[in-house]
Amino acid sequence: MSAYYHNSPYGNNPQYANNGHYPNGNNNSNSNSTNGNVYGGNGNYGYGEEMVEFDVLDHDHGYGNDHQYLNNINMNDNNGYDPNERSQVRSPPKPIRPGLSPTEDMGSPGWPLAATRRGHDRQHVDSFASVSSTPAGSRSGTPAFARYFPAPVQYQNNQSFQSHQSLTALVDQPPSPLYAKDWVQQGSIARIHDRDDADIWKGWRRVVFRFVPFLTFANTALYLFYLGLRIACVILAQRAEHATFAGAWIFIALEVSTAIPSLMHNCWTMWSVKERHRPKLRLTGDDCPTVDVFITCCGEEDDVVIDTVHAACDQDYPMDKFRVIVLDDAKSSSLEASTRQLALTYPNLHYMARTKIPGVPHHFKAGNLNYGLEQTRLMPGGAGQFMAALDADMIPEQQWLRAVLPHLLNDPKMALACPPQLFYNTPPSDPLAQSLDFFVHVIEPVKDALGVAWCTGSGYVVRREALDDIGNFPLGSLAEDVATSTLMLGKGWKTAYVHEPLQFGTVPEDFGGHLKQRTRWAIGTVDTAFKLKFCLYGDAVKQMTGAQRFSGFLYATLSLYTILLTASLFAIPVILMWGRPLVAYANDEQLRWLIWACFAATMANRLCEFALFIPAGYHTGQRGSRYQLWMSPYIALCIVRSFFLPSWLGGQTQAFKPTGSLGSALEERDPKRRKNLIRRLWTILVNYMASFHLAFVYVTIVGVCLTSYRCFYTQDPANFRNIFLCLITHAFWPPLTFLFICTSLWTPVSYAIDPPSMPDREELLQRDPKTGVAHPTPSSKKIAFGGQAAWFELEYTVATAFTIFVFVYSFFYL
């Protein structure tokens, strides 16, 4: 085990600084007031009588009579939220023997390590304290913690966590010798680099990315010109032919529908003209603020959770300044036992499980987090100045806390700072677009530059006083992270995005888990938008800036837009089977101008995509574009059910739920245990409703074949010009929109036929043989280039080459 050894001697009696004495009455300053929380407050989390138990972990592992305490709050009920939610500088470590507690005064409130010295008489706890049957926010009696620890300090109601005051003691200290370089500023916060993402992408990529706002503007302008020309030509053709070109109008509507998401993103990415200036910082020394690290879990595999817990305990941070608290919403006895065992090495590790009464809303992850917030007020030393949260599968890097906290300490109005969510088990080519690379490497930095950084759900650190201001985590939302950061912005707080690779988790390993995760995110985002009036007006958002309001409106609207996009997809096979022209014009001159405008708009779009996708990778951006199409039917269905259909018509507020009964998981990414092809196809096509995607692709292909046959049948076979013009105006108008849509919607089917193979999770990790701490291997942190990515690149190349061919052809034969 590696830990921090403090210079002050260990006394015979461990000093428990700031142990809380909790008077009778209400210890929750938010239980009777919503504090602007549009979700109805958080005073009652739906549990009645709670039994708080302080167990003694009795062990003899070579330490004599040493023993350590693990906070164990026993609850019941296994209902919970979905588990799929989801260059280090370190002082030379010296080991701390289990059973010893550092007593050095670190300048800011510290906590006692839950241990006693070897040679002391053991304290046997033969009973646990009973807390009266009142909500957690209004307890009476003396908590069990107060029975076993002295209580010299009182934490009163409406306590203010002035965490920014800890900077007073920090900035007067010289930097650590390990940071003694010319770019390190004096003080305990080291400025490592002028850009926090300096190690992620650099060089020529940054130069090209600077042109994104101008390329985006040009791309949007050319597309609008092309669209206007299309509409004008249809009108002129109708006047010349005295007929209505319904197919042309439908095709225009379809193109606009598929282009709107890109246009809306274009409007946002043009804001990247505002450069982002967030430096790479590190908190140095041992004089650090106190942090409660919550690890929320609910039914995940024990080894996955323990790897996260182990890495969280192994932080490069003074052990007496942070606690790691496992919030188990499934009350797993095996996880509790594993946590107890690990607590023998890390005395700052605790396990908690809340009571969830059947029939009483427990508010999923938000309720679990709020429970943890209330319980930390009752622990020795009281609540930490900051709270951090990790998903059960998200393994933090050792410098995680030291990298994120300086951004909060530098600004007393900074409420929350979060790093990107990255993953180490993404399969080659990422066929389902499960990585969040485009969002975390492109969208979030732009949002951060405009002061609109969202909480990404894991790895974030938040100021306790900011949480108090909004009434803790908002209840009643499936996207508590987005709702939390939005409410903080509405209260005038700031949020930051730390663009460093500081945590790595796992993506869902099956198709159904991916659908459930993404539809839940979409429902949560839309639900939050409705409750906050799309961030346009209301008391909850009254202190938001214009950019913050626009961001909240944009991303909620994009989720709702999937309904219109899904409906418009039906138009493609209809007009192809109908045999009407997709493009109408009155003469060859108009057709020539249409081809030229189409070529300009397509080339501008390709160039803009290349520059915009650079921070995340070109192929990542392309996967995101395809994902928007094939995932739209699922998101649209769930949104309609959740917000528009009454219950008697099937309305229900939940993520995507497969039809029928699934006998067992497909295990499609395990080459040894995956189900056979027939089983995979049946499950994904029937239970997961991908039959819609299959039908769309095949009907569209049939329509293209029929239209092509008509062109060869109705035109003179010797007249290539007329045949070619018929083909491009009836089916093959550049840049072959039907091909891009068909290959995108084919994704679930191709995934069922040929799912990617992934090794066991352990093969993706590097595990320290001495400590057992595991971190992802360098190769597992990157998405490998696979056959599917090559296929889509070939398709894109063919479509672009065809557009160029038609453009050149127009100069000689029109």
Q: Which of 30-39, 406-415, 424-433, 457-466 has the lowest mean pLDDT?
A: 30-39
Query: Which 8-state DSSP code applies to residue 675?
Result: P
As a whole number, mean pLDDT of residues 238-267 equals: 83
Q: Is 81 inside any structural domain?
A: yes
Cα–Cα distance for residue pair 72/338, rounded to 1 Å: 13
Q: Could you say which of 500, 529, 544 is where a domain stops? A: 544
Same domain, 814 and 668: yes
Q: Per-residue pLDDT tens for 144-190?
A: 333 222 232 222 333 334 444 444 445 445 555 656 666 566 568 99
- Work out how many domains the chain is built from and give that number: 2
β-pairing, 322-328 vs 291-297, is: parallel
Q: Decide if 227 contacts 252 (C-beta within 8 A).
A: yes
For residue 138, the model assigns a pLDDT of 34
Residue 650 within any structural domain of the chain: no
- Single residue among 493, 527, 544 that ends a domain in this structure: 544
The segment with the largest mean pLDDT, out of 267-276, 620-629, 749-758, is 749-758
Q: Is 90 exceeded by the pLDDT of residue 256?
A: no
Highest mean pLDDT among 333-337, 551-555, 626-630, 640-644: 333-337
Handedness of CA 580, 586, 588, 593 (dihedral sign): negative
- Using the structure block, give the residue that is written with the tokens 């040679």: 119
672 part of a folded domain: yes
Q: Which range of residues forms the domain containing residue 460?
A: 20-162+288-544
Q: What is the pLDDT of residue 68?
A: 32
CATH number at residue 425: 3.90.550.10
Is 608 a member of any domain? no
Please name the residue ranges forming H helices in 314-399.
333-343, 364-377
Residue with tokens 């407050």: 41
DSSP class of residue 604?
H
pLDDT tens-digit series, residues 320-369 = 999 999 999 999 999 999 999 999 999 999 999 999 888 888 898 999 99
Render the burial of 345-367: b for 16+ CB within 10 Å, e for the rest. bbbbbbbbbbbbbeeeebbbbbb
User: What is the number of other CB atoms lying within 10 angstroms of the CB of residue 543?
Assistant: 13
Question: Does residue 604 sit within a domain?
Answer: no
pLDDT at position 135 is 31
Give burial (CB, 10 Å; 0-12/13-18/19+) of 483: buried
What lies within 8 Å, CB to CB, of 574 at 6+ separation is 250
428, part of any domain = yes
Residues 350 and 488 in one domain: yes
Query: Within a domain: residue 710?
Result: yes
Rounded-to-integer distance, Cα 611 and Cα 205, Å: 8
Cα–Cα distance list, 428 to 431, 620, 776 (Å): 8, 12, 16
Euclidean distance between the first and final Cα of the chain, in Å? Answer: 77
Q: Give the residue-averaged pLDDT of 387-399.
A: 97
**Last residue in a domain, options 525, 544, 563:** 544
CA separation for the pair 261, 306 (Å, rounded): 40
Residue 438 and residue 444: Cα distance in Å, rounded?
9
b/e 9-23 (16+ beta carbons within 10 angstroms → b): ebeeebbbbbbbbbe
- Report pTM: 0.78
Q: Is residue 2 part of a domain?
A: no
